[in-house]
């Protein structure tokens, strides 16, 4: 629960104005996870839980059950349940609950199923290095898993392969495969940065956005967690690409506070242009060869 103007945490606020920048807010501006927060009476501190899809308390309550004084959605003091002050605000991978693998895969699942809520948990001023490290981990994992079947598939042909001089060519072929994988890996990261840059420029050109390029970069890189679907055989490549784009659209829309239409146009422009250039270049080369 953060101020939409300055990203200041609004837990424990007794009013409806941000203490940092004086920006007015309402609890209806936020959605809360069930069992993650309590809404406290400003008079006696009696807490009640939220309900429904938005996690708000019962809007029909006008009197506190504890002290009987007037209360309501515009008066409650919101506090996270548990010991952590930022519970419900941090991504699982940045929390201290469980081991690193469980935190990583819970973050990936959150990106895939609730991208908008994921973006709401990323602090505005968080370094893009954290997002890059998360993307790097995902790319390394997917590369490793997808290469295993290929190595098993070509293991026997590699063992029987001989160079024209009669020696084993296994080391040469493995070197070529490694170089190709490395180049693809590096180019993919460069593409992500270019993708984020083009997306941000298009948002500025079509009406502007709320925050800096760092916010756009966070959205594109964290949404890359959805690309883990690539490990699924056959259709995984297409599925991972589509899922990544869909997550990126939702996270850009939430992070930069733009409409879904503008977010879709800005996010999909770079992949569509790249696909068009690759397909057009292939057809051009094919026609030239014919």
User: Residue written as tokens 């993919």?
Assistant: 188
DSSP 217-243: HHHHHHHGGGGGGGGSTTTHHHHHHHH
Per the model's pLDDT, the better-predicted residue between 174 and 75 turns out to be 75
Region 206-213 average pLDDT: 87
pLDDT digits (tens, 9 = 90+) for 139-148: 888 888 877 7
User: From CA 82, how far away is CA 213, in angstroms rounded?
Assistant: 34
- Examine the pLDDT at 89 and tell me if it is beyond 70: no
pLDDT digits (tens, 9 = 90+) for 3-15: 777 767 787 887 8
Region 193-222 average pLDDT: 91
pLDDT at residue 236 in the model? 78
pLDDT digits (tens, 9 = 90+) for 108-121: 999 999 898 888 78
- Examine the pLDDT at 104 and tell me if it is beyond 90: yes
Region 93-97 average pLDDT: 79
- Examine the pLDDT at 280 and tell me if it is beyond 80: no
Region 88-102 average pLDDT: 78
- Examine the pLDDT at 173 and tell me if it is beyond 70: no
- Examine the pLDDT at 166 and tell me if it is beyond 70: no
pLDDT digits (tens, 9 = 90+) for 220-234: 999 999 999 988 877
Task: Look up residue 200 and give its two tokens.
Answer: 């941000």
pLDDT at residue 145 in the model? 84
User: From CA 237, how far away is CA 235, in angstroms rounded?
Assistant: 6
């Amino acid at each position: 629960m953060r101020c939409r103007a300055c990203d200041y945490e609004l837990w424990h606020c007794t009013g409806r104005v941000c203490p940092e920048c004086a920006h007015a807010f309402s609890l209806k501006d936020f959605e809360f996870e069930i069992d993650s927060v309590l809404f406290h009476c400003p008079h006696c501190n009696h807490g009640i839980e939220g309900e429904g899809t938005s996690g708000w308390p019962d809007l029909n309550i006008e009197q506190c059950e504890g002290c009987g004084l007037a209360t309501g959605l515009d008066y409650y003091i919101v506090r996270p349940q548990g010991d952590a002050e930022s519970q419900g605000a941090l991504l699982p991978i940045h929390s201290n609950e469980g081991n690193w693998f469980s935190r990583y895969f819970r973050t990936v699942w959150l990106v895939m199923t609730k991208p908008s809520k994921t973006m709401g948990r990323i602090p505005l001023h968080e370094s893009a290095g954290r997002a890059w490290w998360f993307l790097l981990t995902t790319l390394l994992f997917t590369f490793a898993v997808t290469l295993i079947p290929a190595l098993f598939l070509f293991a026997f042909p590699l063992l029987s392969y001989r160079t024209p001089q009669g020696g084993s060519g296994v080391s040469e072929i493995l070197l070529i495969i490694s170089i190709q994988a490395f180049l693809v890996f590096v180019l993919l990261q460069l593409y992500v940065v270019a993708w984020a840059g083009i997306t941000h420029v298009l948002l500025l050109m079509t009406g502007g956005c709320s925050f800096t390029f760092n916010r756009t970069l966070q959205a594109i890189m964290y949404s890359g967690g959805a690309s883990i679907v690539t490990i699924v055989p056959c259709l995984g490549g297409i599925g991972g690409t589509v899922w990544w784009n869909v997550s990126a659209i939702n996270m850009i829309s939430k992070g930069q506070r733009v409409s879904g239409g503008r977010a879709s146009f800005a996010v999909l422009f770079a992949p569509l242009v790249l696909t068009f250039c690759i397909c057009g270049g292939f057809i051009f080369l094919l026609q030239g060869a014919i």
